[in-house]
């Protein structure tokens, strides 16, 4: 696509999907050019600049497999119940690797996980707080399923809808292969994730205290190969990544060295190599940061 046509396309997209500032068309054009450098990549981006109130949305309503980004609303629902007093974060759940498919109720277990340590605690009990930490920092699938079983996917979805993030759909736990084969998967849009993270960053998801605690957990994420990798040294990032085959996402609250925080969500699909998608996400994050916080350079 010629540069002038790409620029006009980006401006039209901004006019119909978010508020426009003078810098946004240039930013959108730079992002699109970088995305086109990886032809197999489908990419959606949503930005919420909490310091200025401006937004940018590129294909932000396109639906993607959520992968582990769906763990954000699981965390929010846990803290919501704790905030209203119907759940203690110190409540202890039995660690077991047996779950029921939403298709027919048959049992399945987690076979692929990024958290090895939790399996040493099978048959023991862990607190809800501990499970949240493992779910968000090392993306534990077992911890996630234990929490979803306890909270229920329906309850998580109702809270997500109340927060205005209808583009996020939490149907089930992780690795329910019968559901996957029937197309019953958790899904999200960049807009939904960005709006959830903007609420967390501004203290309006659950409460100021609860949201601060959730952001604190996310600041300890051990996966920094995408958005954090593209940012200047000293930049703090509270993020939740997610990946499966040809899917790689990063949903982040960025705390620049200079200036206020902003939300950046990058969803990708179609890239086979994990390193390639990570590098693309990092380059996109760098472009965003240079446009929004040039004083950091």
pLDDT tens digits for range 171-191: 999 999 999 999 999 999 999
101, 180 contact by CB (below 8 A): no
pLDDT tens column, 86-141: 999 999 999 999 999 999 999 999 988 888 899 999 999 999 999 999 999 999 99
Whole-number Å distance between alpha carbons of 297 and 289: 9
**For residue 273, what pLDDT band results from cuts at 50, 70 and 90?**
very high
Statement: residue 22 has pLDDT above 80: no
Helices (H) and strands (E) in the chain, counts: 10, 11
Q: Which domains does the chain have, with CATH numbers?
A: 1-62+189-297 (3.40.710.10), 68-167+175-182 (3.40.710.10)
Statement: residue 6 has pLDDT above 90: no
Q: What per-residue confidence (pLDDT) applies to 43?
A: 98
Q: What per-residue confidence (pLDDT) applies to 11?
A: 37
Q: Which residues contact 135 (CB under 8 A, 6 or more apart)?
A: 71, 74, 75, 143, 144, 147
**For residue 14, what pLDDT band results from cuts at 50, 70 and 90?**
very low
Statement: residue 5 has pLDDT above 60: no
**For residue 42, what pLDDT band results from cuts at 50, 70 and 90?**
very high
Whole-number Å distance between alpha carbons of 91 and 79: 12
Length of the chain measured in residues: 297
Q: Which residues contact 114 (CB under 8 A, 6 or more apart)?
A: 138, 139, 140, 141
Q: Name the DSSP letter for residue 58.
A: E
Q: What per-residue confidence (pLDDT) applies to 60?
A: 97
Q: What per-residue confidence (pLDDT) applies to 23?
A: 53
Whole-number Å distance between alpha carbons of 188 and 241: 13
**For residue 231, what pLDDT band results from cuts at 50, 70 and 90?**
very high
Task: Label residue 77 exposed, middle or buried (CB < 10 Å: 0-12, 13-18, 19+).
Answer: buried
Whole-number Å distance between alpha carbons of 264 and 65: 18
pLDDT tens column, 200-212: 999 999 999 999 9
**For residue 19, what pLDDT band results from cuts at 50, 70 and 90?**
very low
Residue with tokens 């760098």: 286
pTM: 0.91
Alpha helices in the chain (DSSP H): 3-17, 24-36, 71-84, 128-137, 141-151, 153-162, 177-181, 190-202, 208-218, 274-292
């Amino acid at each position: 696509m010629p540069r002038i046509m790409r620029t006009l396309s980006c401006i039209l997209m901004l006019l119909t999907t978010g508020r426009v500032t003078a810098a946004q068309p240039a930013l959108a054009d730079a992002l699109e050019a970088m995305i086109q450098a990886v032809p197999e990549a489908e990419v959606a981006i949503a930005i919420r600049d909490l310091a200025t109130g401006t937004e940018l949305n590129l294909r932000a309503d396109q639906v993607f497999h959520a992968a582990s980004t769906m763990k954000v609303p699981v965390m929010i629902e846990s803290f919501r119940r704790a905030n209203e007093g119907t759940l203690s974060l110190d409540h202890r759940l039995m660690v077991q690797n047996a779950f029921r498919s939403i298709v027919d109720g048959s049992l399945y277990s987690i076979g692929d996980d990024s958290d090895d340590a939790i399996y040493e605690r099978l048959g023991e009990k862990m607190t809800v707080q501990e499970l949240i930490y493992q779910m968000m920092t090392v993306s534990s699938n077992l911890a996630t399923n234990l929490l979803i079983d306890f909270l229920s996917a329906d309850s998580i979805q109702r809270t997500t809808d109340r927060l205005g993030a209808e583009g996020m759909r939490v149907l089930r736990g992780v690795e329910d292969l019968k559901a996957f084969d029937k197309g019953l998967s958790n899904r999200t849009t960049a807009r939904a994730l960005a709006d959830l993270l903007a609420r967390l960053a501004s203290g309006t998801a659950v409460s100021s205290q609860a949201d601060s605690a959730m952001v604190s957990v996310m600041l300890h994420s051990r996966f920094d190969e995408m958005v954090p990798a593209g940012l200047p040294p000293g930049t703090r990032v509270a993020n939740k990544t997610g990946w499966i085959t040809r899917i790689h996402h990063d949903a982040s609250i960025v705390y620049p060295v200079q200036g206020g925080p902003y939300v950046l969500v990058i969803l990708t699909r179609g890239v086979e190599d994990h390193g390639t998608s990570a590098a693309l996400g990092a380059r996109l994050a760098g472009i965003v940061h240079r446009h929004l916080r040039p004083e950091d350079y």
